[in-house]
Amino acid sequence: MLRTLPKPDATMLRRLAMFQGLDEAALRDVLGAGQVRALAEGSTIFIQGDPGTTCHLLLSGRVKIQQTGADGRQSVIRFIGPEEMYGTLAMFLKGGYPGDAVAVTDGVEIVWSAQAMRALMHRHPQIAQNALAMLGDRLQDLQSRVGELSTQRVESRLAHAILRLVEQAGRPRDGRVVIDFPLTRRDLAEMTGTTLHTVSRTLSAWEGRGIVEGGHRRKLVVLDVPALKAVVEEER
């Protein structure tokens, strides 16, 4: 598993927000500083609280970031898809990684040591600028979620969460949208701040109305995206 895999083309990095505005040579420099490795489904990549010593770029597969609160309650912070970075800010945080990272499917990623990334940022200040902009976006996103959590009701929040997943990981397939990685009711509950019971009930109701189709685990099919959007908009 720790065997080094062949590296992808440096031009791939150009698509990433993190490496915007870098020239060819810089991209090769960036790529050269990282290690490619495989991720096995279910394996833990880093653990909440550990000092942030790595930066990750997922090439394929899917990774779940989850947090355990002081009271032991879990919450799912986000899902990472191909060509997304994660664990990047931990190197700047006193508390280390803010959550656990677990591979929910097999996958491949590039890893940089925090040291290497710091050196890269030093050699190419544009990266730090980009990181700042990305963090800003994340912050904004989180802030909107705070607003959402406190004002919307469960149904809206769930609809919103699923729409995010559709946006990020949805695979259109003759009119429907398929989210085909292991996504439990518990995950959805922890993403929306509710219980798996309520998620199950709501999803059942939607299934009855032809909005979604819940395969039993590891698959969620959205039949009617507009209907979900309607649920989000729904005034109380």
Partner DNA sequence: CGACGACGTTGCGCTGGCGCAAACGCGCGC
Partner DNA sequence: GCGCGCGTTTGCGCCAGCGCAACGTCGTCG
Q: Which of 232, 235, 77, 78 is nearest to 155 (CA)?
A: 232
Q: Distance between CA 94 and CA 90 in Å, rounded?
A: 8
The order of strands in the sheet holding 54-60 is 35-39, 107-113, 54-60, 84-86
Q: Which is nearer to a second copy, 147 or 172 (CB)?
A: 147
Size of the site for a second copy (CB under 8 A): 39
Residues 184-213 within binding reach of a second copy (CB under 8 A): 192-194
Q: Distance between CA 232 and CA 187 in Å, rounded?
A: 19
Span near DNA by CB under 7 A; candidates 3-11, 18-26, 54-62, 178-186: 178-186
Span near a second copy by CB under 8 A; candidates 29-37, 146-154, 165-173, 200-208: 146-154
Span near DNA by CB under 7 A; candidates 11-19, 51-59, 97-105, 188-196: 188-196
Q: Which does 75 bind (CB under 5 to 8 A by kind): a second copy, DNA, none?
A: a second copy
Q: Distance between CA 131 and CA 125 in Å, rounded?
A: 10
Task: Give the single-character DSSP code of 71.
Answer: T
Tokens 């970031």 sit on residue: 65
Tokens of 86: 């994660």
Span near DNA by CB under 7 A; candidates 20-28, 106-114, 118-126, 192-200: 192-200
Rounded to a whole number of angstroms, the CA Rg of the chain reads 19
Q: Which does 67 bind (CB under 5 to 8 A by kind): DNA, a second copy, none?
A: a second copy
Q: Which is nearer to DNA, 40 or 132 (CB)?
A: 40
Number of H helices, E strands in the chain: 7, 12
Pairing label, strands 107-113, 74-80: unpaired
Q: Which does 89 bind (CB under 5 to 8 A by kind): a second copy, DNA, none?
A: a second copy
Q: Which is nearer to a second copy, 138 or 197 (CB)?
A: 138
Q: Which is nearer to DNA, 14 or 186 (CB)?
A: 186
Q: Which does 221 bind (CB under 5 to 8 A by kind): DNA, a second copy, none?
A: none
Q: Distance between CA 209 and CA 199 in Å, rounded?
A: 15
Choose which of 140, 173, 209, 218 interacts with a second copy (CB under 8 A). 140
Choose which of 8, 82, 98, 214 interacts with DNA (CB under 7 A). 214
The Cα-based distances of 159 to 7, 29, 54, 155 in angstroms read 38, 42, 34, 6
Chain residues binding DNA by CB under 7 A are 153-155, 184-186, 193-198, 200-201, 203-204, 214, 216-217, 236
